[in-house]
Homo-oligomer: A and B are copies of this chain.
Amino acid sequence: QKAGQLFSGLLAMNVVFLGSAFICCMIFNHVAITLADVWILLSILKVVCLCWIIYYLLGTSRQPHAVLYRDSHAGAIWIRGSVLLFGGFSILLNVFQIGYSTILIHCKSRVEILFPAIGIIFICTQAYFLWHHSKDCIQVQHNFTRCGLMLTIATNLLLWLLAVTNDTIHMEIESQLREVERRFAGKAPFHIPICNETTLCTCPNTTMCKVFQKGYILLYPFNTEYCLVCCSVLYVMWKNVGRRITHHHVPDTKPKFKVHGVVFGPLLGAAAVIIGTCVFMLYQIQTTGLVPSRQTFVMYYSYYIVLLPLMSVGAVIGTIIHALEKKELDTLKNPTRSLDVILLMGAALGQIGMSYFSIVALVATDPGDLLNSLILSYSVLLIFQNITQNVFIIDGLHRQRFVAAPEAKHTGHVGQHTVAAELPGEEETTRSSEQEHTQTSPGKEEDTKDEQNHETYNQRRVSVIELGQEIRKASLSYIHSYSHLSWKRRALREISFFLVLCNIILWVMPTFGAHPAFENGLERSFYGYSTWFVIVNFGLPLGVFYRMHSVGGLLEVYVTA
């Protein structure tokens, strides 16, 4: 097993290195290796992956005893949902690209229609494959399947790398264009069409072309997310190849997502989202205008400085509640969760690294200035927020479901049981206290009527009262413990719901083009253009992925709280 993993890992490593060397060549030496060469390499990889996926769907998975076990933790519904969602947007992106290339066919080669077409087929097949087979623990053709999975992972990673570098190159072009515009600002503000591939080819002034162009720019971020999500699902599948799951794992728990019972989290979160959207729109209007004003940045950073401490406090309280709960830790082997933890920590590194670079730059220049001090506190708070949120999510992912597992064998529906566990508990206690009343009141009637068998009655009465007291005591402690548990649960749910909404807005803002770390120009002038560009280039896509991934993690914490 180890040998197979090692071999397929080496295969993927070689493919990734070769591909990234190609992409780097393309970036640093446009003449020797063009974007078309990179596309040819990636298309070949895509076709090979397609062949393997089709073989898997039609051959491997249909063999007898191929899929004996399914990993219930793998391929959660929101992961698969996001694969479909981002896959859909990526297909749309490719359609736009085809349309755009068709309009500009006079100055583009025909191959630029072929590549997106291959891309569409690849995305469709892969999404179908991941939707249906993400839980598989395949038991036949181990090594071949591992190699296929690793090749697909490598292809997705390379697609992501290309998308990220292309995206940031696009950002760079835009930023340079804006500077050009700024210089001409006093004279005649004119519009320079942004063209992704070649600057020779300009878009004719038709609505169709503008729509394609704008859609292309808007949909681009989804493509990068799609590649990363696919990678993580494929990696879990790779870890699950040949895995035999004991029956302890088997109960297919599907906790349902229900909103009832939480009030403050959604309200606060919605407020954050609404204010964030306003801030984002103002920011976008201001920065796409000619001179991004200082006030825009002050507004943007102030929003963060208000929001981030709230999120950190929420995460800290959540962690404390987790510690109070003293639930049993779930220490069973679970590749999905290990990957989640690694991805959370790894993706956070991008944001944290960028923040530290900002801090050093700002402290070294002039921390007294208003904007500088705002950015400084923003960076410090961001680091703190990332760390506390990671601790909260990791803690939450390790305390799961397994409290309900022993009871689950009787009831059969674990998920509904854990979610609805509060209500039957309280019903039971009210019923038992009613029973208690009905037991003690006949006792009083008997007291006045019969006096002959006083001794025996007294004994009975004492025992009845004792029984009643005991039942009352038990039910009180039951109510107490339940309301106690329910209070903790409710707090956890409020917090995680709030954090989910906050992370969504913090995910939307950089995804759709708010890059203040690049646009404010402070760090850029400190480190120099190209160095800061490389840092942002590493940090920003990871930061975006981090927000998306923590939304997934927080949803899991919410559902299982």
Contacts and interface: CB of A to CB of B under 8 A. Distances in A.
Contacts of A6: 391, 394
Interface of A: 2, 6, 10, 13-14, 17-18, 20-22, 24-25, 28-29, 32-33, 329, 349, 352-353, 356-357, 359-361, 364-365, 383, 387, 391, 394, 398, 526-528, 530-531
Contacts of A359: 18, 21
A18 B358 CA distance: 10
B25 A356 contact: no
Q: Sort A-B residue pairs by CB-CB distance and give the 6 closest, nearest first.
A: A32-B364, A21-B356, A17-B356, A21-B360, A21-B357, A28-B531
B29 A528 contact: yes
Given A21-B356, A24-B357, A356-B21, A2 B398 contact: yes
A13 B528 contact: no
A18 B391 contact: no
A391 B8 CA distance: 12
A394 B398 CA distance: 32
Contacts of A394: 6
A365 B32 contact: yes
B13 A349 contact: yes
Nearest to A359: B21
Contact of A17 (B28, B353, B365): B353
Contacts of A32: 361, 364-365, 526
Chain A residues touching B, majority SS: helix
A2 B329 CA distance: 11
Contacts of A29: 361, 364, 526-528
Nearest to A25: B360
Contacts of A24: 357, 527, 531
A33 B398 contact: no
Contacts of A14: 352, 356, 383
A524 to B, nearest CB: 11
Contacts of A17: 349, 352-353, 356
Nearest to A323: B3
A352 B28 contact: no
Contacts of A20: 353, 356
Nearest to A386: B10
Given A28-B528, A527-B29, A356 B387 contact: no
Contacts of A13: 349, 352
11 contacts: A2-B398, A14-B352, A17-B353, A21-B356, A21-B357, A21-B359, A25-B526, A25-B527, A29-B527, A32-B526, A530-B530
Nearest to A352: B17
A33 B364 contact: yes
Given A17-B352, A32-B526, 14 more contacts: A14-B352, A14-B356, A17-B349, A17-B356, A18-B359, A20-B356, A21-B360, A24-B531, A25-B357, A25-B360, A25-B361, A25-B364, A32-B361, A32-B364
A20 B356 CA distance: 9
A327 to B, nearest CB: 14
Contacts of A10: 387, 391
A188 B275 CA distance: 71
Contacts of A28: 527-528, 531
